[in-house]
Homo-oligomer: A and B are copies of this chain.
Amino acid sequence: MHVMIIGAAGMIGRKLANKIAKTSTLGNQKMRHLSLVDVVEPSQPDGFSGDVSLHTTDASQDGRAAEFIKSRPDVIFHLASIVSGEAEVEFEKGYRINLGSTMNLLEAIRNEAATSPYKPRLVFASSVAVFGAPLPDVIGDDYHLTPLSSYGTQKAICELLLNDYSRKGFIDGVGIRLPTICIRPGLPNKAASSFFSGILREPLAGKTSILPVDDSLRHSHASPRAAIGFLIRAATMDTAFLGNWRNLNMPGHSATVRNQIDALERVAGPKTVALIQRKPDPAINAIVGGWPQTLGAERAKKLGFVAEQSFDEIIQIYIDDELGGTLPA
């Protein structure tokens, strides 16, 4: 089996590559070839005995997708995207990368099949940002697409394309609407949601962190480890169940910012919590305030997608996976 990750140099892309390289399997299938694609040079994953192809290329440019799709991967993870805050400010760039790269990829796959049959599984990382206010308390899988940001609009359009290309038999697509991934390792980014990780990650490292929203803001979260699990499940599940609706809400743990801070206090104590500084930001509130609070994910749960049950668990996963299992003294 040949697996390709587009957006392989991003946080999720790297974790996914390392996870599947370590076992050389995807689901129950032996993986012999791993292709990593990103605009930034992807790093070689450790401990993989099969072939690795690295493509440093901008998939949003005309013709580029056709070049790397020629190798006919059986499974493609399409994770390449710029984040919500950046897509809101850089309108043209957002459409080019978040929509253009998906359109080019879909056409490259369709055109590749012109010579001989080819229909890969395509796993697309969508987002809860396809939903916008006013929203019911719980958003079901079949809730309408009502994005209130350019990022959400781009993801919603990709979802519609995924449905139509799957319906026409050009791909076997699965879109997964990821909740906010928490705790993201590394540095803060331009995502409007960046603070959800920041208010935990920075204090855990002994640094101050800014909280730009109210403590009562509720949102849905899953760990990076859960997100990798979602992607692998989406790549290996039986898609017959999906019918014409190829996009799934992912499960997540719904929590307020207050719940996050309380969990941080239980895990790391009040001195760590004291490093959080409240500084309301209207631009971030405008974007994040319109996002869903709780996602219904009944279809995904039936299909075996699993997330965390508490924020203590989410923080512990970060400590285990990123800090070697213990808090710094």
CB <8 Å contact, A153 and B145: no
Q: Is A118 an interface residue (CB 8 A)?
A: no
Q: Are B147 and A160 in contact (CB under 8 A)?
A: yes
Q: Does chain B have a CB within 8 A of A236?
A: no
Complex Cα distance, B157 from A163, in Å, reads 12
A262 lies within 8 A of chain B by Cβ: no
Instruction: Provide the A60-88 mask, 1 if CB < 8 A to any CB of B, else 0.
Output: 00000000000000000000000000000
A164 touches B150 (CB 8 A): yes
Inter-chain contacts of A91 with B (CB < 8 A): 110, 168
What residues of chain B lie closer than 8 Å to A168, measured between beta carbons? 91, 150
Chain B residues in 8 Å Cβ range of A167: 148
Most buried by B among A142, A160, A244: A160
- Chain A 123-168 interface residues, beta-carbon cutoff 8 Å to B: 132, 142-148, 150, 153, 156-157, 160-161, 163-164, 167-168
Nearest-neighbour CB distance to chain B for A171, whole angstroms, equals 13
A98 to B244 CA separation, bound complex (whole angstroms):
21
- Which chain B residues lie closer than 8 Å to A147 at the CB level? 160, 163-164
Q: CA separation between A144 and B153, bound complex, in Å?
A: 14
Residues of B within 8 A of A161 (CB): 153, 157
With known contacts A145-B144, A244-B148, A160–B164 Cβ distance under 8 A: no
Query: B145 near A160 (CB under 8 angstroms)?
Result: yes
Which A residues lie at the B interface, using CB under 8 A?
Answer: 91, 110, 132, 142-148, 150, 153, 156-157, 160-161, 163-164, 167-168, 244-245
- Some 20 contacts from A to B, beta carbons below 8 A apart, are A91-B110, A132-B244, A142-B144, A143-B144, A144-B144, A144-B145, A145-B160, A146-B245, A147-B160, A148-B244, A150-B164, A150-B168, A153-B160, A153-B163, A153-B164, A156-B160, A157-B157, A157-B160, A157-B161, A160-B160
Known: A132-B244, A147-B163, A153-B161. 17 other contacts (CB 8 A): A91-B168, A142-B144, A142-B146, A143-B144, A144-B145, A145-B145, A145-B160, A146-B245, A147-B164, A148-B167, A150-B164, A150-B168, A153-B163, A153-B164, A156-B160, A157-B161, A160-B160
4 A-B pairs with the lowest CB-CB distances in the bound complex, closest first: A144-B144, A153-B164, A157-B157, A153-B160
